[in-house]
Amino acid sequence: MKKFLPLSVALGAVALSVSGCSTATPGPGTAVPTPSATSSAAAATPTTGWELNTKGGAERIRAAGLPVLNMEGAAEHFHAHLDVFVDGNPVAVPADIGFSFTATGQPNGISALHTHDESGIIHIEAPVAGATYTLGQLLTEWGVLDGTDKPGTAHSGVSDWSVVVNGAKQDGRAQAVILKAHDEIVLFHGTAPEPLPTAFKFPAGL
């Protein structure tokens, strides 16, 4: 019978490493077509409003229509990558999207849809196979693009943003983009990044 670690131990391992993904913590991958380019997170200075607010993490997970779990799932396991740009300038995708925290900042829950670091890699590690996960759910867990501020800001409406997946411009609502294994998703406002990332080189094991 499968044994479960105490919640604090299990989540501590999740928060400190990509424990469900590989035996070694992977470094940031590389966006294509610029093999020498680093992750968008490494090149960006955090923009006010884009940082993750750890307060309310559980509420945002539930608002995304997902349950707060006590450990990563294993029935469905894949990864996608997200780059965010405002007028060609990269915005860091923060670590710990999709986590809930105690009042003292300790992780006490996790969504099947989450991030571990600032590489832009999105982890889907679900206890049940077959569910669909979307860009809109990730943005809700992040707490951004909620339509409460002016265009192009962290809390603008998402309707005036563009989405490109694997080099192909997407029609329709950005929130509806379905996350699939090894997709390179570029979400941008205003001027498109140059060059536009069309693929992402994932670390070995992902």
| Statement: residue 107 has pLDDT above 90 | yes
| Statement: residue 8 has pLDDT above 90 | no
| Statement: residue 6 has pLDDT above 50 | no
Q: Distance between CA atoms of 109 and 72, rounded to whole angstroms? A: 9
Please answer whether residues 94 and 142 qualify as being in contact, where contact means their C-beta atoms are separated by less than 8 angstroms: yes
Q: Distance between CA atoms of 131 and 135, rounded to whole angstroms? A: 14
Q: Name the least confident of 23-32, 81-90, 127-136.
A: 23-32
Question: Residue 134 has what DSSP assignment?
Answer: B
| Statement: residue 26 has pLDDT above 50 | no
Higher pLDDT, 40 or 117: 117
Half-sphere exposure of 69 (CA within 13 A, CB side): 21
Q: Distance between CA atoms of 111 and 181, rounded to whole angstroms? A: 17
| Statement: residue 202 has pLDDT above 50 | yes
pTM, two decimal places: 0.80
Place of tokens 């294509």: 32
Q: Distance between CA atoms of 133 and 65, rounded to whole angstroms? A: 10
CA angle 152–153–159, rounded 5-degree value: 50
Q: Distance between CA atoms of 17 and 24, rounded to whole angstroms? A: 8
| Residue (of 25, 133, 136, 43) closest to 83 by Cα position | 43
Q: Distance between CA atoms of 172 and 31, rounded to whole angstroms? A: 25
The terminus-to-terminus CA distance of the chain in angstroms comes to 27
**Residues found in the chain:** 206
Instruction: Name the CA radius of gyration of the chain, rounded.
Output: 16
Q: What is the pLDDT of residues 29-44, one digit of tens each?
A: 333 333 333 344 444 4
Mean pLDDT across 176-202 = 97
